[in-house]
Structure 1
């Protein structure tokens, strides 16, 4: 029996672990297939406060993990197969561990960026391929960039990247964009943005020094073309890692965990959510860490309330 189980790591889960461990709650942290979350695939992070010279993503996550361990957090690696939040104690079934029980749960499983699934893409993540303009745009100052996508996120990222790049080319599979008209107009009015519509990405072309361009198939001519670029930003959305939660907590239409505004509380008392698994807007390391702090404090308050309640019942008996 654990006082709290944190499902998932990353900045949110690890911050929650630090706070709960310092409060002597001795949380168990279950690490999934990618301990440390998406930041472990990021090279240098320059926008996390406290590191004026920047810090490597894996190093930041390792430091946060060690900090949580220092205060007594326990870590186990495994894949959560099933949960039961119908009554306390809550039950979490983990592959290779069996069923674990806890008085409270913090969900911090994050959201995975969608990739194109084309040759050269995964090999060059961190070497010119990115899914986060606000994270990596600075590294492409005075360079050429390709943004793949046709929705609001793609328009927003393309517009943001023009602050750094000499030119941003938007690549979309169709002639029409899915983005709202105001976002399309804003991008089309930007002189630094050019368009490669009705073109299907087929390969990220790279050399020893990183990305050199994106090979696309022109759907009209049937011919392949190379768009020269120093960076390829994939902006086709994110998928929250919540399949195992369906039917157990309230999710929105895209699968993100719904929380009470201003808190990390789900519809199940004692179950909390933090980080990108409930954040459809910001998706930054620092906002994830902040929500991890909130989840730990919400969780601690919940546990203290139930301890008082349990003591009162015991005294009545």
Structure 2
């Protein structure tokens, strides 16, 4: 492509689409590059209930994302499907080399998101959104009065497990070691919670069921014994939440942008990175809460910052 865009947005999730909407409405020449389907993690969520202004009865992730996509297109954002393999971000014109094309822009908004570190068991992918989740804040309501299992032993896993006890009938933490890695203060609260239980020295080997998750095989790493755990017949299903870490989609930016020890991009409150004209928005950046609403806000802020950098009015 020979055109030099005002802004190139990497990622078609809530942050990227929000940025596309705001940039398009500001009459900026805008290109959104998404390697797969729009939506990111939200695209695999069956129902969303906590996005402000949506239908009270909730809607699916794909439905919400479809409306966001339509909005960005309505206001002129161009779209391509490609995977960026190499970037040159210094200077007034940024160059992004993809598998199909080379793209140039005066500004770049990185909204490539992050993906959950998988549990790594058989059947995990098949039951995503059908019993398997990686976000208690997003999906806890769907497991009210059901039994839930949490895989992991760090701060996030134990904190999310305690949050789930507000909804689930029983929550069991499955951890491959015989003690938690979470901070002692968190552990004290967890062990004092009567609805929270622990399965030590164990890993999930397989998930199974019909259309929904109904059982799993768990292996004791010390004895080698494997046992099956089936959902209560009256429940018909249970939930498995994986909290063994997130992986930011930032590999192509390593050594170029400032990141924390986990690979998340560091920004200020206006989404600026360490390189002028390069912004990061949504789950890909260092932040305390990763939700659709915060990702959308990040995208809007980044696009407005781009507009201001190009305008004589600010």
Global fold match (TM > 0.5)? yes
* Farther off after superposition, 225-234 or 87-96: 225-234
Superposed displacement of residue 226, structure 1: 2.5
More helix by share: 1
Q: Give a deviation string over 1:135-194, Cα, whole Å, max 9, x none.
A: 000000000000000000000110000001110000001112111111111111100001
Superposed displacement of residue 302, structure 1: 1.3
Partner of 2:241: 233
In structure 2, what is the Cα distance between the partners aligned to 1:298 and 1:137? 35
Partner of 2:141: 138
Partner of 2:88: 84
Q: Is the 8 A contact 1:103 1:303 kept in 2?
A: no
Give the direction of change, closer, same or farther, for the CA distance of 1:179–1:246 in structure 2 (3 Å limit). same
Query: 156, 173, 185: which is aligned to 1:153?
Result: 156
In structure 1, what is the Cα distance between the partners aligned to 2:216 and 2:27? 51
Q: Give a deviation string over 1:249-305, Cα, whole Å, max 9, x none.
A: 111111000002x22000011100000000442110001001111111111111226
In structure 1, what is the Cα distance between the partners aligned to 2:84 and 2:245? 24
In structure 2, what is the Cα distance between the partners aligned to 1:198 and 1:238? 22
Correspondences of 1:179-258 after superposition (within 5 Å): 179-208=182-211, 210-229=212-231, 230-258=238-266
Partner of 2:106: 103
- The aligned length equals 304
Q: Is the 8 A contact 1:90 1:104 kept in 2?
A: yes
SS in 2 for 1:45: coil
SS in 2 for 1:281: coil
Q: Is the 8 A contact 1:21 1:72 kept in 2?
A: yes
Q: Does 2:26 correspond to 1:23?
A: yes
In structure 2, what is the Cα distance between the partners aligned to 1:287 and 1:297? 15
Superposed displacement of residue 7, structure 1: 0.6
SS in 1 for 2:66: helix
SS in 2 for 1:44: coil
Computed over aligned residues only, the root mean square deviation of the Cα atoms, in angstroms, reads 1.4
Structure 2: gaps of 5 or more residues: 232-237
Query: 109, 113, 117: which is aligned to 2:116?
Result: 113
Q: Give a deviation string over 1:18-68, Cα, whole Å, max 9, x none.
A: 000000002100012342211111111111111212111011111101101
Q: Give a deviation string over 1:75-94, Cα, whole Å, max 9, x none.
A: 10000011101212111111
In structure 1, what is the Cα distance between the partners aligned to 2:210 and 2:149? 17
Partner of 1:46: 49
In structure 1, what is the Cα distance between the partners aligned to 2:299 and 2:57? 25
Q: Does 2:63 correspond to 1:59?
A: yes
In structure 1, what is the Cα distance between the partners aligned to 2:141 and 2:81? 34
In structure 1, what is the Cα distance between the partners aligned to 2:29 and 2:57? 33
Q: Does 2:297 correspond to 1:295?
A: no
In structure 1, what is the Cα distance between the partners aligned to 2:140 and 2:266? 30
SS in 2 for 1:116: coil
Taking structure 2 as the reference length, the TM-score comes to 0.94
